[in-house]
């Protein structure tokens, strides 16, 4: 078989991506008819909301609320499980690294009852940035610490440094690095065999054939579509007190020092104990430009439902691109919201994942954690 250069591989992939995005439709997007929240009763307290990757961890947070615990303890207990999980490659330990192969984490917290906030950005070697963000809130007169200063602060509070780059994430980063250019010295030279064989050689020995196939398919996916995973978690207790947190390893292969929406109060997270809470996952740059979570909370203050409020923020994102679906297809963005009465909502820029599954978010209403469909601003999926 004819060998592929890295550039051929990249351009071929790009061409198919552009073909998939060819259905250009002009004009203002209309929100898709929302099918409801899957029969889940609305307006129940206590209640927790999370991005879909928080589903299995919500039991832990809800147990805290049911014992009368604080909403900030509940959301942090939830996301700490995901930060510790090496298999979630968008958060904490095991998160995909920056372009230098270094994992840099961002996180924020807001505590409704005391109206305080804390955050860290570009934090290295500490797997629970959300816990450090809480300490910034509780043990400093600041709101946001970044980079080496945030690391020194974490160490001062007893956090231990560790290598956050798992074998799986390191292998994906190396494959990405080698796929970027024919004009640098990364990877075998011009006489290299095809990409698939080269990447397969990066994998550790001892994997079964299905494991190798799964690993290779995942690497291909994260090279072509660098993830912006993230977990957001919001909680309201039986008295109507709210808290939230957002934590992430950010955009895979980002330039070192890039900060997304997650640690920015008002963008990836906002809580107003009089109104409600909101958060975001997906492409942080777009969320920052519309001050997303703050916009959602302000829309709820003006009387919109949580779902309507999320859709309004997404409308503003679409407007920033003149509602050009071809460019909007290049990313995804989701908002999650919870009001003081325990009414929840979530909305996604695109209704489906690239694999065709509906975009969903997780809730726990005290009986069980479950996934519910997001409302969608646009029909279809990102490219
Ligand atoms: N929303 C996560 C990020 O863009 O970093």
- 247 labelled catalytic: no
Structure tokens at 150: 């945030």
pLDDT at residue number 20 = 32
CB 112 within 8 A of CB 237: no
> For residue 265, what is the DSSP state?
B
The structural domains of the chain, ordered by start, are 6-163+227-381 (3.60.20.30), 167-224 (no CATH)
Query: Are residues 228 and 284 in contact, defined by beta-carbon separation less than 8 angstroms?
Result: yes
Q: Kindly give the number of the ligand 1 atom that is closest to the alpha carbon of 285.
A: 4
- Pairwise CA distance, residues 218 & 215, whole Å: 5
Q: Concatenated DSSP letters for 70-108?
A: -HHHHHHHHHHHHHH-TT-TTSSTT----TTS---EEEE
**Within 10 Å of residue 214's Cβ, how many Cβ atoms?**
12
Which residues are 280's β-sheet partners? Answer: 335
Cα–ligand 1 centroid distance for 341 (angstroms): 28
Q: Can you tell me whether residue 16 is helix, strand or coil?
A: helix
d(CA 340, CA 236): 7
Phi, psi torsion values for 272, nearest 5 degrees: -125, 115
What is the maximum alpha-carbon separation in the chain?
Answer: 67
**What's the pLDDT score for residue 292?**
98
Question: Over its length of 383 residues, how does the chain's per-residue pLDDT go in tens digits?
Answer: 333 344 344 334 333 332 333 332 334 455 554 444 444 557 789 999 999 999 999 999 999 999 999 999 999 999 999 999 999 999 999 999 999 999 999 999 999 999 999 999 999 999 999 999 999 999 999 999 999 999 999 999 999 999 999 999 999 999 899 888 767 777 765 556 555 666 677 788 888 889 888 888 888 888 888 888 799 999 999 999 999 999 999 999 999 999 999 999 999 999 999 999 999 999 999 999 999 999 999 999 999 999 999 999 999 999 999 999 999 999 999 999 999 999 999 999 999 998 899 999 999 999 999 999 999 999 989 88
Residues with CB under 6 A from ligand 1: 228, 230, 248, 250-251, 260-262, 268, 281-284
> What was the pLDDT predicted at 224?
85
Per the rule left: phi > 0, alpha: psi between -120 and 50, beta: everything else, 20 is alpha
What is the distance in A from the centroid of ligand 1 to the CA of 107?
10
Q: How far apart are CA 178 and CA 171, in angstroms?
A: 11
- HSE at residue 192, side-chain half, CA atoms within 13 A, is 23
Q: Which of 230, 247, 281, 305 is catalytic?
A: 230
DSSP letter for each residue of 295-360: HHHHHHHTT--HHHHHHHHHHHHHHTTTT-HHHHTT--EEEEEEETTS-EEEEEEEEE-TTSPBPE
Q: Which atom of ligand 1 is nearest to the CA of 281?
A: 1
- Kindly write down the DSSP assignment for every residue of 216-228, as one continuous string: HHHHHHHHHS---
Cα 89 to ligand 1 centre (Å)? 13
Phi, psi (rounded to 5 degrees) for 280: -145, 150
Q: Please list the residues that pair with 236 across neighbouring strands.
A: 47, 242
Q: How far away, in angstroms, is 129 Cα from ligand 1 center?
A: 14
Supply the residue whose CA is at minimum distance from atom 5 of ligand 1.
Answer: 250
Q: Are 320 and 286 in contact (CB under 8 A)?
A: yes
What pLDDT shows up at residue 76? Answer: 98
In this structure, the strands spanning 242-248 and 231-236 are antiparallel
Q: Counting Cβ atoms within 10 Å, is residue 65 exposed (0-12), middle (13-18) or buried (19+)?
A: buried
Residue 337: Cβ within 10 Å count: 32
Among residues 25, 18, 20, 15, the alpha carbon closest in space to that of 325 is found at: 25
Q: Whose CA is nearest to atom 4 of ligand 1?
A: 284
**Gap between the Cα atoms of 96 and 275, Å rounded:** 35
């Amino acid at each position: 078989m004819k060998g592929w250069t890295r550039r051929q591989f990249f351009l071929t992939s790009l061409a198919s991506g552009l073909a998939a995005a060819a259905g250009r439709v002009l004009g203002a997007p209309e929100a898709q008819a929302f099918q409801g929240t899957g029969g889940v009763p609305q307006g129940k307290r206590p209640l927790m909301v999370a991005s879909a990757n928080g589903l299995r961890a919500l039991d832990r947070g809800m147990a805290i609320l049911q014992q009368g615990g604080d909403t900030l303890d509940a959301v942090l207990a939830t996301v700490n499980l995901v930060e510790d999980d090496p298999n979630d490659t968008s958060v904490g330990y095991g998160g995909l690294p920056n372009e230098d192969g270094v994992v840099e984490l961002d996180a924020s917290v807001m505590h409704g009852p005391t109206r305080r906030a804390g955050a860290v950005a570009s934090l290295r070697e500490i797997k629970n940035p959300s816990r450090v963000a809480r300490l910034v809130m509780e043990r400093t007169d600041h709101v946001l610490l970044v980079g080496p200063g945030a690391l020194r602060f974490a160490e001062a509070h007893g956090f231990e440094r560790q290598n956050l780059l798992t074998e799986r994430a390191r292998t994906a980063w190396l494959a990405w690095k080698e796929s970027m250019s024919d004009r640098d010295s990364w990877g075998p030279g011009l006489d290299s065999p095809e990409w698939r064989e080269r990447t397969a050689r990066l994998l550790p020995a001892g994997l079964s054939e299905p494991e190798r196939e799964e690993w290779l398919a995942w690497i291909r996916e994260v090279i072509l579509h660098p993830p912006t995973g993230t977990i957001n978690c919001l909680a309201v207790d039986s008295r109507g007190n709210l808290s939230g947190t957002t934590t992430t390893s950010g955009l895979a292969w980002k330039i070192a020092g890039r900060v997304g929406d997650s640690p920015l109060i008002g963008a990836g997270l906002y809580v107003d104990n009089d109104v409600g809470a909101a958060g975001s996952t997906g492409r942080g740059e777009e969320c920052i430009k519309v001050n997303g979570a703050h916009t959602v909370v302000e829309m709820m203050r003006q009387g919109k439902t949580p779902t309507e409020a999320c859709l309004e923020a997404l409308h503003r994102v679409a407007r920033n691109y003149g509602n050009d679906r071809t460019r909007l297809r290049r990313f995804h963005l989701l908002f999650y919201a919870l009001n003081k009465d325990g009414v929840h909502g979530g909305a996604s820029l695109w209704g489906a994942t690239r694999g065709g599954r509906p975009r969903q978010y997780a809730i726990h209403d005290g009986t069980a954690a479950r996934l519910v469909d997001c409302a969608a601003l646009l029909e279809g999926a990102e490219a």
